[in-house]
Structure 1
Amino acid sequence: MTEPLALRSDAEALAAPLPPLLAEAEHLATTVLLGDHGRKRAGTGDTFWQYRPAQPHDSARQIDWRRSARADANFVQDKEWQIAQSIVLWVDQAASMRFSSDPDLTTKAMRARLLGLATAILLVRGGERVGLTGLRLPPRRGRGQLMTMAQLLSEDGAADFGAPEPQGMLPHSRALFISDFLGDITAVEEALTRAADRGIGGAMLQILDPQEEAFPFDGRTIFESMTGALTHETLKAKDLRDRYLDRLAARKDRLNTLARATGWQFQTHHTNESAANALFWLFGAMEHQR
């Protein structure tokens, strides 16, 4: 009986974070009144758009057997209205997102996951197909999709800083990136350029801890990344403040410029601010891209 009990214990421990995250996201989503908007994009219909390789989540009835018979793999038809109603999310799961300057404050990661999942809930309720970038979870509807998304979003990454995954973004669909955007900005530039080339509109939400915005350090200070791979010690932290704030302002300005150049929207949110206000902005930004 030991093995079944151990397996059940491990399974319960694995599943434990999911209901609270999903429940909190659903509660947050109720703060936004969502009307039934259906398919409003002009020129879209049930016409064929493209074939794509079948994924494990696709049912047998979705497979185009005639097209699949001509190849060694199974294929699924994507319809034009499905593309128009598809939104993929990239929620940064890197180590830098697990930072919180105060035990009473949520981490950047938890706020990002909450807002990403709450946005997905609102979009699914409005008839949209929502998934994750990186081909891990192609856009679909339904509570099962949200449960799987909650599970995937609850995973932690190993890298110090995250980079957007442009894979899985369908032409003329929409995308949402949520991150602190403190890593290599080249990856963000490449992802947005690739998205713009494929007619993909979207939004970027930068999430920062208030300490990262204020830089309230003085005297001897050791700065260390969340993984411990990067460290910097200084005896005069206050002397770094102006340079740090200038670089942070330059980073925000670069992100804002990238968003404008590619037709996206950009906003910064702090973890000590209202999650509901951030959700209002996110949902409005995604609706603006329709």
Structure 2
Amino acid sequence: MSLELQARAEALGQTLPPLLAEAEMLAATVMLGEHGRRRAGLGDEFWQYRPAHQGDSARMIDWRRSARSDAHFVREREWQAAQSVTLWVDPSRSMQFSSAKNAPKSDRARLIALALAVLLLRGGERVGLAGLALPRSGRSQIVRLAARLAGEVDAAEYGAPLAEGMVSHGRAVFVSDFLGDLAGVETALARASDRGVRGALLQVLDPAEEEFPFDGRTIFESVGGTLRHETQKAGELRDRYLARLAERKDRLTTLARAVGWHYSTHHTGSPAQSALLWLYQALERGR
């Protein structure tokens, strides 16, 4: 084993247990009750009664329930087919940015994604990582996903979502700061739409990226070092920066809505629970 590979293996061994433990603790704080897919379909669990529609066969009608009213009712069961969910977490250099006492965006993104995987896998779904791990079920998949997430680092300045591994008519989640070229996001969403995949975009930003608390002489430099800008009056850039950020958020919202996806922003200075719950509910709404 080379020294570089050994160092990476040791670093992964130190990172994996805390990440997995923290993700499981985060998942435990989101009380979802018994997992339910809340769709009519094949299954054993009763879901609801609904009025009979034209085209329903006589075998579908629940005659005992119908006898208590003047209308006919159908007894629906809840859909219990496992769903495949593919996650993509931006591994690029820009995600390593952090300000003040906040954790790097990459840490928060991986934590939320893994906690979501824990919830979905416990609910019987299959979960995978785009380009890294095919959707599977079971406890072993949680460990596999944690190892992949903890060890993935990209040299690129900004990331673009991967569409690899998405299962037709499944679900997908893209977690990123989405500060790079949005053409990659548009391409991935188009490919997802072609496969009938619905999902959610979660934009993870540092509070400094949201508020632009800079003034006076400031040197702005990207994490990867490929971009650099020095100004004597950073405060004069605030309004233009915030306007550009608002335009980017509007563009992401438009792209998501065009293909039936959901979009939201999360700040690393805020609790992770709200983002996790939003993602879980967004996947449920997309069914």
| Structure-2-length-normalised TM-score | 0.81
Aligned pairs for 1:154-193 (under 5 A) are: 154=150, 155-193=152-190
Please tell me whether residue 142 in structure 1 is matched to residue 161 in structure 2. Answer: no
User: Given the alignment of the two structures, is residue 131 of structure 1 paired with residue 128 of structure 2, yes or no?
Assistant: yes
Q: Which residue of 1 aligns with 2:216?
A: 219
For 1:86, the equivalent position in structure 2 comes to: 84
Give the structure 2 partner of residue 122 of structure 1: 119
Show structure 1 runs of 5+ residues with no match.
46-80
| Residue pair 1:35, 1:126 contacting (<8 A) in 2 also | no
Gaps spanning 5+ residues in structure 2: where? Answer: 44-79
* Superposed displacement of residue 36, structure 1: 4.1
Q: Distance in 2 between matches of 1:146 and 1:156?
A: 19
Q: For residues 153 and 162 of structure 2, what CA distance do their matches in structure 1 show?
A: 16
Equivalenced residue count is 249
Q: Is 2:86–2:171's contact at 8 Å kept on the other side of the alignment?
A: yes
Could you report, residue by residue, the CA deviation over 1:19-55 in whole angstroms, capped at 9, with x for unpaired residues? 100000000000122344466655679xxxxxxxxxx
**Using the alignment, how far apart are the partners of 1:171 and 1:8 within structure 2?**
38
- Show the 5 A alignment for 1:94-113: 94-102=92-100, 104-113=101-110
Q: Aligned residue for 1:32? A: 30
From 18, 21, 26, the counterpart of 1:20: 18
Report the equivalent of 2:227. Answer: 230
Rounded to whole Å, the distance in 2 between the matches of 1:106 and 1:195 is: 31
Q: Which amino acid aligns with 2:111?
A: L
Task: Tell me, in whole angstroms, the C-alpha distance in 1 between the residues paired with 2:17 and 2:176.
Answer: 23
Matches of 1:28 and 1:131 in 2, distance apart? 19
Q: Larger Cα Rg: Structure 1 or Structure 2?
A: 2
Where do 4+ consecutive residues of structure 1 move more than 6 Å? 7-10
Q: CA RMSD in A?
A: 2.3
Contact map agreement 1:39 1:85 (CA 8 A) in 2: no
Deviation at residue 198 of structure 1 after TM alignment: 1.5
Partner of 1:153: 149
> Structure 1 stretch 139-148 or stretch 264-273: which is displaced more?
139-148
Q: Whole-Å Cα distance in 1 between the matches of residues 149 and 115 of structure 2?
A: 12
